[in-house]
Amino acid sequence: MQTSCHEVRFTLPSIEVAGKAWGDPQGLPLIALHGWLDNAGSFDRIAPLLENVHLVALDLPGHGLSGHLPAGGYSLWQQAATVLQVAEELGWQRFALLGHSMGAIITGIIAGSVPERITAAAMIDGLLPFTSEAEDAPRNMARFFEASLAAGEKRKPVYDSVEKAVSARVLGGTTPISRDAASLLVERGLMPAHGGWTWRTDPQLMLPSPLRFTNSHAAAFIEAIRSPACLILANQGVMHRHPHVLEQIVRFEHIQQHRLEGGHHLHLEQAAPEVATILDSFYRALA
């Protein structure tokens, strides 16, 4: 059990990326990717429970302590490219992945695109991105343009205490989350502002996607995964809001699938030990 962690930082060609690292540098190289609007604190509960891994949890660009990208810079494939740049900085030609939600989607994209570099891919309550078909592209792009033009008029909220920011995260999130879990994310997600606290997160991340994969695109990445793969689904998680997605996931027979009681952030809540047990067994099997 690796209980201690330390901060890491990577100077990439276009951005500074921060993160947290646990474990023995001689252990299995493992990069962990958090969900949308979360940060590396997403893995604080399970990382110490994983044996024989060198886990590096990133703050993806625009999140946590990492830098922000220029206008229009965020996409799933851009985030995936950043992960590969970090792997280069670490000197990891081959490595494993662990992703939650958006991070799980990015994990699938990387594992399907460069399967020769990925030794294993584990995903928590996430696999396929939101998709749309070709005929929807003009409307989606128009929504992005409209929101981008209006973004300059918006201001980040300022809270007079960290506790109020935690409450805002609990009440205002897109998925239910416990106060304890929210506290771990908020700790890394705030910065001082105007005598109070505001979010570090890049507001651009709130913009609608200008371009989405089609269903066929999304499925092709998952079908192209060649490494051992594992998916942990929360019985009260985000995937269960979309039964048609669950039906599609069942067809990916090359992915181990586990279902646990809990919400979308089950790895930060009561189910964390169960999640860690599944992941520990999954990564140990690689040896």
Three-state SS across 243-274?
Answer: HHHHHHHHCCCCEEEEEEEEECCHHHCCCHHH
Nearest to 206 by CA among 83, 74, 77: 74
* Residue located via tokens 């973004």: 151
Distance CA 198, CA 254 (A): 43
Return the number of other C-beta atoms located less than 10 Å from residue 214's C-beta.
Answer: 14
281 is catalytic: no
Q: Exactly one of 4, 14, 42, 101 is catalytic; which is it?
A: 101
Q: Strands, E, within the chain: which ranges?
A: 5-11, 16-23, 28-33, 53-58, 95-100, 118-124, 190-193, 196-199, 229-236, 255-263
Strands 5-11 and 16-23: antiparallel
83-102 in b/e form (b: 16+ CB < 10 A) is: bbbbbeebebeebbbbbbbb
Contact yes or no for 61/74 (Cβ under 8 A): yes
Nearest to 274 by CA among 225, 235, 219, 240: 235
d(CA 36, CA 51): 27
Instruction: Pull the structure tokens for residue 150.
Output: 């209006």
Q: What residues are annotated to the active site?
A: 101
